[in-house]
Amino acid sequence: MRRLTTFTRAWYAQEVLRELVLIYPVYAIMIGRVGISPFELSVLFAAWSATGVVLEVPTGTLADRLPRRWILVVGQLLKASCFLLWWLVPSFVGFLAGFIAWGAGGSLRSGAAEALLHDKLGELGRPELFVRVYGRSEAAGATAVMLAMALGGWAAETDFGLPLALSVAAPLAAAAVTLLAISEPPRGSDAARHEPYLATLEAGLHEVRDSVTLRRPILYLCTAALAYEVGEEYFGPLLDEVGFPLALVGLITALTHLARAGGSFLAERLRTRHQGGVSALYALAGLLLATAALSRGWLAMTTLTLFAALTAAAKVLLQSRLQHAIEGHARATITSVVGLGQELVGLPLFLAIGAIATRTGWATSFVLLAASLTVGSLVLGINGRER
């Protein structure tokens, strides 16, 4: 019991530290103030996303071959190097190199973190606690993002040096906690550990292709779950369009992260035995998002916050099902397939939302996103029950 408590505390600590990045709310402003044009900023974001597309699955397979604890440490070092590059080389080239480093670090963590958590809980004899620990770690990370959002603007009042310095320090502290307080759990057979890299990659991809049990949560994570992941980037313009002053826009955005923390923390209590339960959560979330887009004042704020909470809870439940459904040794590879799928689906979804909003406004684009989420979730739920 003591080992479990020590591990979970360390896991939550590194989750908080890796997201306590004070440059989060102001880095786009910082980049613009050094002369980077809006088009160049879009190029930087595209390079950041492309890095994930290219590296997501290969780094997942790497995490099935090497100690995952060290993979997480290197990922945090790369994230810290991003903000260091921005600090020392405030130019297009420096920002580009930073985004690529950040993207590579995120790809290293994607898949490896979930796999390490699952296997570590298995080593401690409590694999059934994955949904609780993963949910609480997501809650811890969301709370840290909320704090970073609240403190980042204040820290940048004089210049961007202070938030950049603290943003370098936070991932380094997370790496130190991971290295010193989290041990590597045993993994698989000797044959699996010594098989060629491509064989591990092939094993993971074959399991994704052949397992119906895996296919369902992957499908949800690469479709319904993206409603929040993509929509979040446009909360600011939506709230501005429906009439909130800028001061309240920041507050409401922070509240959505707090709601994400609450939804992730309480996900275990919402545990359902069939896919229909998750479909219901997403369908209700879609109705809440549509209400937020069509409302004003407190109703818009409340429904948007509840939307964030429900989608967070559904994501935790899906990740839990995914990890428990994996039977082979290529766990990080399979989890990284989800990340790749999200990137590939997310890119055209970003473009579609932008195109619709340009013609008809942000509210219309969010209503259409909400409608597709509700209808799609109900279809997925009905199809899952029939199967």
The CA angle 87-91-96, to the nearest 5 degrees, is 90
Cβ 64 vs Cβ 330: under 8 Å: yes
pLDDT at 206 (0 to 100): 82
Average pLDDT, the chain: 86
pLDDT at 59 (0 to 100): 87
pLDDT at 100 (0 to 100): 95
**pLDDT, tens only, 297-309:** 889 999 999 999 9
pLDDT at 373 (0 to 100): 92
pLDDT at 382 (0 to 100): 67
Alpha helices by DSSP H, listed for the chain, are 2-19, 27-33, 38-65, 68-88, 92-109, 112-123, 130-155, 161-181, 190-193, 197-210, 212-221, 226-231, 235-241, 246-265, 275-294, 297-325, 331-360, 362-386
Cβ 204 vs Cβ 64: under 8 Å: yes
- The string of DSSP letters for 306-329 reads HHHHHHHHHHHHHHHHHHHH--SS
CA distances from 13 to 18, 50, 219 (A): 9, 30, 31
Q: Count of alpha carbons within 13 Å of 328, Cβ hemisphere only?
A: 26
User: What does the domain layout of the chain look like in residue ranges?
Assistant: 1-187, 203-387
Do the first three CATH levels of 1-187 and 203-387 match, i.e. the same topology?
yes
Annotation: CATH topology of 1-187: Growth Hormone; Chain: A; (1.20.1250)
The dihedral over CA atoms of 107, 110, 116, 119, expressed in degrees to the nearest 10, equals -130
**Matching residue, tokens 């989800």:** 338
Cα separation, 142 vs 261, in Å, equals: 5
Q: Which residue has the higher pLDDT, 166 or 242?
A: 166
The CA angle 348-354-356, to the nearest 5 degrees, is 100
- CA gyration radius for the chain? 20
Q: 203-387 architecture in CATH?
A: Up-down Bundle (1.20)
pTM of the predicted structure, to 2 decimals: 0.81
Cα separation, 317 vs 303, in Å, equals: 21
Residue in 240, 237, 249, 228 with CA at minimum distance from that of residue 354: 237
**pLDDT, tens only, 140-179:** 998 998 888 888 878 888 888 999 999 999 999 999 999 9
**pLDDT, tens only, 115-147:** 899 999 989 989 888 889 989 999 999 899 888
Reported as a pLDDT band with limits 50, 70 and 90, residue 62 is: confident
Reported as a pLDDT band with limits 50, 70 and 90, residue 386 is: very low
